[in-house]
Structure 1
Amino acid sequence: MRDTSLPDWFMKRSLPLALLAYLILYVLWLARGRMSSPEREWVGGAAIVAAALLAGALAFYLNRRLADRRARRAWLWLAIGLLVWVLADLARLFSAIWDWHEPAAGQAYNALYLLGALPLWIGLVLYPRKPRANAGALAMLIDATIIAASSISLIWILMVQPFLLHPPNTRLPFASLFPFVDMAGILLVLILFLFSNVDHLSLAFGWLSLGLCASMASNLAYAGLIFPGLARGGGLADLGWVLGDVLFAAAAWADLNPAWSEKLNRQAWVSRWRGLFQSILPLLSMFLMGGYTLLLWTFNGRVNDLGLYITVVSGMGLAVRQGIYAGEVEMQKFANLVNSIAEPAFVCDQHGRLRLVNPALMEAAGASSAAELLGRPLAAFLRPAEGIAAAVAQGLQTGWSGELELLQPKERSIPIYLTLRPLKPGQAVAGTAHDLSEQKARQAELQQANEQIAQDRAALARLNENLEQAVEEKTKDLTLAYRQLEDQNRALQELDRLKSDFVSMVSHELRAPLTNINSGIELSLMAKGGLPGNTQRNLELVQAEIKRLTNFIETILDLSALDAGRLPLYPAPLSLERVVEVLRQQMTHLEGAQRVVWKLPDPVPDFIADDRALVSILFHLLDNALKYAPEGEITVSAGQDAAGARGWVEVADRGPGFSEEDQQHLFDRFYRTHRGDAQTVYGHGLGLYIVRRLLEAMEGEIRVQNRPGGGASILFYLPLLTDQGDGHVSESSRSG
């Protein structure tokens, strides 16, 4: 389907500016134009046609663009009326261009104008509005009657009576009906405004009303100029028609941009002034009628009977309307009170038929509107129906209350507690229904819980009958199992002791012969005269293996002592430099010992550690690095943390590093990273385990990570010797 929408920028901003500019240019043309009379007549007619055509086109466009069906229908009728007026303006323009002075041409224009007023009125009636909610129907009907009577009487006195008293010699043209048609349109607008909710009144409705007023002004001027024969186009009398068409176009623009109406309706002062004008409109109509009657009496010296009667009747109507309004306000307060009750409430007559219901009752009964319930008997909604008549009869006298069931759609019902109280004794009764569904559900849950408690209590009693026997049997079983566990634990402790004693004994027995063999080899290597080359190399190789075996035996002894809790450790202030010197002497037989690079700070902080344990820790770490990093230097560095509470030593190599799995098990007993190289890389998986155990015994910790450039880094921490600031030196506790 073809897109019929206009550009948004044009509809939102450019159209209002274009309408305003057109109106200003037209006013300037009226004030400053220097054309001859015929030229002014057809140029002015063309200006009226252009404005009317724009208004009609926008009305038709709005009929296709709006989503609200009622608004589209209203704008369709408005568009028809405006386009009929366009035809009337074209007839007037052609008569001016070709200088038609025949009565038929003027009568065609007048007839078309009168014909176009009817669809305009229909469009105004169909235009969407919200009904007035703060006044009763009778009060609004009286207001509308006062306004209509005052307006019609004023039109009669102003326009009809002068013709009846002094009839003209010539036949009245159609144009003489213009004021009546316009006044009827204005009266229709006032009545529609009276019946509308001013808080939700569209801005377009206001522009339409002002457009009718502007057109009425020109029609009155035109009708007044016809009789002396002075009616000519292009004069100031045409301004109301152009202004009216511009206002009709502005109304279409307002409905295309509803945000402006919503913004205006949110203004408190707008709603306040609209409401004030709506409330004083009947009073204003009466004052206009009475004021004009008084004016006639002042200047003519006689009273207009019709004006006086209408004024008096309007005043009486206003008094009656005020009383009705006061009663409706009180009734509205009562209705609001009933409607605001959260529980179902109603009023019924002496026959039990509903006369007033609140929204809560409509919701409970499944009704979409009050009309579905009003007039129906209570017995149609309550069960049991047999006792409803007696309950209503008692409620009319002294009141009644009791439990019933309220029927709902789909053959459902809810329990209620109904209370009836006499509103007018013997005539009406007011009732409220309290929903007992929640209470009944809680009662059912409580009953079910009580039954469950009784069942549980019976089951508990049955269980208690065998409880003592079951407890006695379980106690015997647990006692027997505990004794068995004690015997097994003692046996395991004995086996562990025998294992430790055996390992210690074997290690001691091996250490003494190895020491003797090593001493003999050293004496042989130190013998004068020297030894053959092969013999010396073999002896040196044997000596290295003896030292390695001796270190392994020392490791086994330390591990046994740690497991048994008998390894003597004496943490004390220890110089790292002295430990390094001892370690260098022990590492002389290790292959690749020359790759170790020592990067120690000056001065080196004193650690709190056992000297033998710290030498063992560093030896195992360096031995591990020399085995698994066969190339590149091995760096040993030291320092202290930012707080100065702990010192650290790092051993870093250029080897392959550790995988994530290796890092999780690296310090476990007997764990080796390169199991496939077990034959080429000698080890037992105990070195790093011994390191961790010794550090934990001295309140230290150890960490491992891979270096960014390749290789592994093992870092351990130990407490430092710190100065307390008062000349006393103390050991720092472990941090982190």
Structure 2
Amino acid sequence: IEGVIAVDARDAILFMNERARTIFGLGAARGERKPFLEVIRNVDLHAIFHESRAAGEGTVSRHELRLASPVERRLQVNAVPLRLAADELGVVMVLHDVTELRRLEQVRTEFVANVSHELRTPLTAVHGYLETLLAGALEERENARRFLEIVFRHTERLGRLLDDLTDLSNIELGRVSLKLAPTRLDEVAESVLAIIRPKAESGRVTLGSQLPSDLPPVPADRDRLAQIFINLVDNAVKYTPEGGRVTVSARPVAGGRVEVTVADTGIGIPPADLPRITERFYRVDRARSRELGGTGLGLAIVKHLVLAHGGELWIESEPGRGTTVRFTLPSSGPTA
């Protein structure tokens, strides 16, 4: 519902609807028959009344204003003159709150810019190496193989990026149908640890687990649950230096839920970055993330999948000490 305000020729308020009072935080206060600036102290809005009268009847004055208080908003304002009497010209103003629309436009702009950047980086490298090969390096067997291996790694990264983008898009649009069935967390977690263990060992990172066999099963899509574990454990291993440790644990908690924890002794995340860490393409260290093969979408996918399962996600971290990711899932009842 739009806010509506009508004033007379002296800018005294004739009418103000409930939505307009809400926009300006007026509560139940009535503004009728009072001067506009006495009720709403906004000179930019007041100036539109004068502009509208000067433009003449039948003309719509259009503006977009930013309100700083009582709540920051973006308002689209349309004003038209209103003939009240032969010698009196008032104004009717319609206010449309476009705050969320502008926020979504900004998100879209940032998303397109991020995708373009993420695609351009490997494509530039692929183009450069292929150009070098075509210029004669193809005849140098040792260099040619090394260059082709680099090109191959970049194309793999492009494939991961496109897969993650497709996954995230489908999850956000509700196109992913979860095949829920009673699932043993310990079995899924151990299968994921077996996949990632060689990578952890090559980086001299200890991978451990504390997964009781009597954990109650959870109603989950086994493949999507594995995807959550893979993203979290893989991230933890990537950002844990040699000699560090990554531990996966789980336990029943109040409310008939199970809490899963993935804790590492890695480099940690600065407090300023924590609130945005699950945003698409948000990275604390972009260069290092790309070097390690990250797409910047893993935690965003994890967040959406956990929420889709009816769970919640928390991330705690301390630079130089490590990161702990916790998520909860509803349980199906006691273990069979």
TM (normalized to structure 1)? Answer: 0.25
SS in 2 for 1:580: helix
Q: Deviations over 1:547-592 (max 9, x none)?
A: 6655433311111112322122233311123323542464367464
The one-letter code matched in structure 1 to 2:249 is: S
Correspondences of 1:441-460 after superposition (within 5 Å): none
Pair 1:678–1:586, CA change in 2 (3 A):
closer
Residue of structure 1 in register with 2:276 after alignment:
665
Pair 1:694–1:539, CA change in 2 (3 A):
same
Q: Does 1:626 align with 2:237?
A: yes
The one-letter code matched in structure 1 to 2:84 is: E
2:185 to 576, 593, 606: 576
Pair 1:459–1:666, CA change in 2 (3 A):
closer
TM-aligned CA deviation for residue 718 of structure 1: 0.8
Residue of structure 2 in register with 1:656 after alignment:
267
Residue of structure 1 in register with 2:223 after alignment:
612
TM-aligned CA deviation for residue 663 of structure 1: 1.7
1:561 to 170, 188, 204: 170
Q: Deviations over 1:43-72 (max 9, x none)?
A: xxxxxxxxxxxxxxxxxxxxxxxxxxxxxx
Residue of structure 2 in register with 1:717 after alignment:
328
TM-aligned CA deviation for residue 644 of structure 1: 5.6
2:307 to 696, 704, 708: 696
Pair 1:588–1:550, CA change in 2 (3 A):
farther
Q: 8 Å contact 1:672–1:684 — kept in the other structure?
A: no
Q: Does 1:600 align with 2:211?
A: yes
Q: 8 Å contact 1:607–1:719 — kept in the other structure?
A: yes
**Distance in 1 of aligned mates of 2:34 and 2:182:** 73
TM-aligned CA deviation for residue 717 of structure 1: 0.8
Residue of structure 1 in register with 2:132 after alignment:
none
Correspondences of 1:254-653 after superposition (within 5 Å): 465=84, 470=90, 474=93, 550-584=159-193, 586-587=195-196, 590=199, 592=201, 595-631=206-242, 632-641=244-253, 643=254, 645-653=256-264
Pair 1:713–1:589, CA change in 2 (3 A):
same
Q: 8 Å contact 1:707–1:713 — kept in the other structure?
A: no
Pair 1:459–1:674, CA change in 2 (3 A):
closer
**Distance in 2 of aligned mates of 1:458 and 1:693:** 50
**Distance in 2 of aligned mates of 1:599 and 1:539:** 42
SS in 2 for 1:660: coil
Pair 1:678–1:633, CA change in 2 (3 A):
closer
TM-aligned CA deviation for residue 638 of structure 1: 0.9
**Distance in 1 of aligned mates of 2:35 and 2:150:** 83
- Higher RCO structure, 1 or 2 (CA under 8 Å, sep 6+): 2
The one-letter code matched in structure 2 to 1:571 is: L
Pair 1:676–1:599, CA change in 2 (3 A):
same
SS in 2 for 1:638: strand
Q: Deviations over 1:636-663 (max 9, x none)?
A: 111111x361101111111122221122
**Distance in 1 of aligned mates of 2:300 and 2:219:** 21
**Distance in 2 of aligned mates of 1:568 and 1:469:** 59
TM-aligned CA deviation for residue 674 of structure 1: 2.0
Q: Deviations over 1:18-59 (max 9, x none)?
A: xxxxxxxxxxxxxxxxxxxxxxxxxxxxxxxxxxxxxxxxxx
Structure 1 residue ranges without an equivalent (≥5):
1-455, 507-534, 724-728, 730-736
Q: Which has the larger radius of gyration?
A: 1
Structure 2 residue ranges without an equivalent (≥5):
1-31, 37-81, 120-143
**Distance in 1 of aligned mates of 2:34 and 2:269:** 65
SS in 1 for 2:261: strand
What CA RMSD, in Å, does the superposition of the two structures yield over aligned residues?
4.7
Structure with a larger share of its residues in strand: 2
Pair 1:588–1:545, CA change in 2 (3 A):
farther
Pair 1:566–1:708, CA change in 2 (3 A):
closer
Q: 8 Å contact 1:592–1:626 — kept in the other structure?
A: no
The one-letter code matched in structure 1 to 2:278 is: F
**Distance in 2 of aligned mates of 1:546 and 1:568:** 29
Structure with a larger share of its residues in helix: 1
Pair 1:691–1:644, CA change in 2 (3 A):
same
Pair 1:458–1:658, CA change in 2 (3 A):
closer
SS in 1 for 2:209: strand
SS in 1 for 2:272: helix
The one-letter code matched in structure 1 to 2:175 is: R
The one-letter code matched in structure 1 to 2:273 is: D
Residue of structure 1 in register with 2:12 after alignment:
none
**Distance in 1 of aligned mates of 2:299 and 2:178:** 18
Q: 8 Å contact 2:264–2:324 — kept in the other structure?
A: yes
Pair 1:679–1:577, CA change in 2 (3 A):
closer
Q: 8 Å contact 1:572–1:610 — kept in the other structure?
A: yes
Pair 1:548–1:585, CA change in 2 (3 A):
farther
